[in-house]
Amino acid sequence: MREMRIPFGTITITDKSKKLILDCLEKGRISGGKYVHEFEERFADIIGAKEAVAVSSGTDADTLALAVLHDIGAQRGDEVITPALSFVATGSAVLHAGFTPIFVDIDPETLNIDPDRIEKVITKRTRAIIPTHLMGKPAAMDQIIAIAKKHKLVVVEDAAEAYGAKYRGNNIGALGDMGAFSLYVAHIITTGEGGIIVTDNTQFAEILRSLRAHGRVCKCKQCISNINSGFCENRFSNGEKGDIRFLFERIGYSCKMNELEAALGLGNLDLYDEILEKRYHNLRSIMEKFKDFSTYLWTFKEESYERIGPHAFPFVVKKGAPFTRDELMLYLEHQGIDARTLFSSIPTQCGGFEFLGHKIGDFPYAEYIGRHGIHIGVHHDVNEKDIDWFFSSLRNFIKAREYR
């Protein structure tokens, strides 16, 4: 096996990030403070939202966004509609938030939830829809939002992979009631580990800040105590109830972002446009050249009304191909190309969800992708020589399989 030539992801740690991290270490200010607040402000501005609340992972971002529903009337066990095909965290988040996931099969042309199937599963206990923009491909948000308004449902966008994605001129993540992003190391903006929720709803943002800190009462947008160790006049404003930092008004979580992660993210934000354009160039280059392999392989396309977020490049082995997905993946790995499966049908191909009672065949399109889908990286350290190497490897593999 060759040394890994095209890893799935990369990370850029800027001099600015290193300086900020050193500042945190020298001052001993590690827990969330001024850098987390600055990161939230700048992230919200990039997405075009009024508020952003940083947490410790993309899964936590999904979970807390859904947990907000409890403050607006939802009961534990109520239902949240979600696509059958996604990274497993989407389904897990519904359960973590105390709800029942109602899975819907995908549109095989987009890899996203099929909007025509959504209304068929809405019941009196449905409270929200959480569409995933898989591999940065925007879901059919016009239809999804129209359905949500009709049935008075909340829309939480799982935008973990959708940095830079646009739908009819609008930024993905800013279309629903809340948008949840992952800041994991392989993503376009990264804090190493981390996640963030954006929203235009000030009430939701306050609830989110409470939820990430055990459900405590204090939930100011800018915490004086955390940022500069200053005295907060609000702490003892409740009389006999005591310090509001130790009053808890809802069931919460412990998933705050820390200063070191935010420092890493602030350096990334300075390069956001540059990284985004390089990755988008790589994605478009691969999509164009991939047309030569359409006999056996399929990938999504970019419509005129959208821009795909350049998270990764997905492709699927078609029926009747003279090779399997696993054979192709193993070959690519031997060529130094980090290839990964294109996730699975959460309810039927992920063992942890067996208790829900679904069976193979319930979500045929998601299951097909789960058996035959692949994705590779398009990150900003990938160059034209790497892309040529991928296609040369792919061409040699297919030629050998056609005549075996």
Domain spans in the chain, listed from the N-terminal domain onward: 15-270, 273-402
pLDDT for residue 32:
86
Identify the architecture of domain 273-402 in CATH: Alpha-Beta Complex (3.90)
pLDDT for residue 227:
63
- HEC string of 345-396? EHHHHCHHHHHHCCCCCCCHHHHHHHHHEEEEECCCCCCHHHHHHHHHHHHH
Return the H-helix or E-strand segment holding 180.
Answer: strand 178-182
Task: Round to the nearest angstrom and report the end-to-end CA distance of the chain.
Answer: 22
How many Å separate Cα 84 from the centre of its chain?
15
pLDDT for residue 220:
66
Non-local (6+) Cβ contacts of 149 within 8 A are none
**Interatomic CA distance for residues 367 and 298, integer angstroms:** 16
- What does the pLDDT look like over 189-244, one tens digit per residue? 999 999 999 999 999 999 999 999 999 987 666 665 566 656 666 666 666 666 77
pLDDT for residue 245:
77
Of 395, 357, 396, 339, nearest in space to 100 by CA: 357
**Interatomic CA distance for residues 271 and 266, integer angstroms:** 9
**Interatomic CA distance for residues 62 and 69, integer angstroms:** 12
pLDDT for residue 248:
87
The two structure tokens encoding residue 254: 């412990």
Other C-beta atoms closer than 10 Å to the C-beta of 10 total 14
**Interatomic CA distance for residues 111 and 343, integer angstroms:** 11
Helix axes 272-289, 384-402, angle to 10 degrees: 30
**151, 121 Cβ separation under 8 angstroms:** no
**Interatomic CA distance for residues 14 and 17, integer angstroms:** 5
- What does the pLDDT look like over 92-102, one tens digit per residue? 999 999 999 99
The two structure tokens encoding residue 387: 């892309």
Given this structure, which CATH class describes domain 15-270? alpha beta
pLDDT for residue 241:
66
Q: What is the number of alpha carbons within 13 Å of residue 336 lying toward its C-beta?
A: 11
113-148 burial string, b = 16+ CB within 10 Å, else e? bbbeebeeebeeebbbbbbbbbbbbbbbbebbbebb
pLDDT for residue 221:
66
Of 27, 14, 46, 26, nearest in space to 227 by CA: 27
Q: What are phi and psi of 363, to 5 degrees?
A: -135, 70
**172, 203 Cβ separation under 8 angstroms:** no
**151, 122 Cβ separation under 8 angstroms:** yes
pLDDT for residue 164:
98
The residues facing 85 across adjacent strands are 345
Which residues of the chain are under the pLDDT cut of 50? 1
**Interatomic CA distance for residues 108 and 187, integer angstroms:** 24
Considering only the C-alpha atoms of the chain, give the largest distance between any 2 of them, rounded to a whole number of Å: 82
- What does the pLDDT look like over 106-158, one tens digit per residue? 999 999 999 999 999 999 999 999 999 999 999 999 999 999 999 999 999 99
- The model's pTM is 0.94
pLDDT for residue 226:
63
Of 254, 230, 231, 234, nearest in space to 242 by CA: 234
pLDDT for residue 217:
84
